[in-house]
Copies of this chain bind each other. A is one copy, B any other.
Amino acid sequence: MAALDPSEGDRAMSPQNAGRTARERARAELTREIKEEARRQLAVVGAGGLSLRAVARSLGMVSSALYRYYPSRDDLLTALIIDAYNAVGDTVEAAAASVPAADGRARWMAVCRAVRAWALANPHEYALIYGSPVPGYRAPQVTIAPASRMPLAFARILASAAPPGAAPPGAVPPASLAGDGPLARQTAALAAALAEAGAPDVPPDALVRAVIAWTQLFGMLSFELFGQFVGSFEPADALFEHAISQMAAFVGLR
């Protein structure tokens, strides 16, 4: 065991792997394995049906042993939710990074495709975070930060590509964005929050259009995943490509 090798003694503070006792290693590994098994079960029974006993059974443990790793069923669920948000966040950030920042339209399309690919590959994790809430479960504060990674990435695309102030063709004069109406105030607050989180400035009109396009994307994904397209736009590949292209134009990305 590496931890018993004296030559590694000076890495004792490394959080990665070295310098940890066998116990610590085993604990980290099992914590991960429990979560993975729970994720596997999620795909079969859904979030509401996730059972600690079933997870323990699959791992060859006794159910009470899980309480050494997660204090309750809801905490395990929270861990899964955080992981799912982070998986979307990773996906979206990687997709954005794979396309030059200047080509906003291509970036938008790449990110949309990446989200869809992830959702199709992980439908139950998608449902866990974007579907109906799990009854009786209240998402704790810790889920907020991972949840905001994806919208933040969308905002960054917009900010680095949309020419500030350029109204897209055919824009309805955003009367509801003028003055200090509720939408104008909410949008300003959101823009400020985004700026604080590291995204550059986005004009309010573009921001609201992005939110609309963003909800369109997820509405379309939910319809595809939850079966509202059966018998019409299934498979939805062609509709999806068309829609994200149209929405890119709607947002003002060219």
Contact = CB atoms under 8 A, between A and B. Distances in A.
Interface of A: 44-49, 127-128, 130-136, 139, 144, 147, 168-172, 174, 176-177, 181-183, 186, 189-190, 193, 208-209, 211-212, 215-220, 222-223, 226-228, 231-233, 235, 237-239, 241-243, 245-247, 249-250
Given A130-B226, A132-B226, A183-B239, A170 B172 contact: no
A212 B237 CA distance: 14
A49 B52 CA distance: 17
B133 A246 contact: no
Contacts of A245: 172, 176
Given A168-B170, A172-B245, A219-B217, A208 B239 contact: yes
Contacts of A212: 216, 220, 243, 246-247
Given A169-B170, A218-B223, A242 B208 contact: yes
B132 A172 contact: no
Nearest to A132: B131
**Residue with the highest number of chain B CB atoms closer than 10 Å, among A131, A132, A136, A139:** A132
Contact of A135 (B45, B168, B227, B241): B45
25 contacts: A46-B134, A46-B135, A46-B136, A47-B132, A127-B133, A132-B132, A133-B226, A169-B169, A170-B171, A170-B249, A172-B249, A176-B238, A177-B242, A186-B238, A189-B232, A190-B232, A209-B246, A211-B243, A212-B246, A215-B216, A215-B219, A215-B220, A218-B223, A219-B219, A222-B222
A132 B127 contact: yes
A130 B238 contact: no
Contacts of A186: 232-233, 238-239
Nearest to A169: B170
A152 B131 CA distance: 24
A136 B141 CA distance: 31
Given A48-B49, A131-B132, A239 B226 contact: no
B208 A174 contact: no
Contacts of A182: 235, 237-238
A217 B245 CA distance: 18
Contact of A130 (B170, B193, B228, B242): B228
Nearest to A241: B176
A228 B219 CA distance: 12
Contacts of A222: 130, 218-219, 222
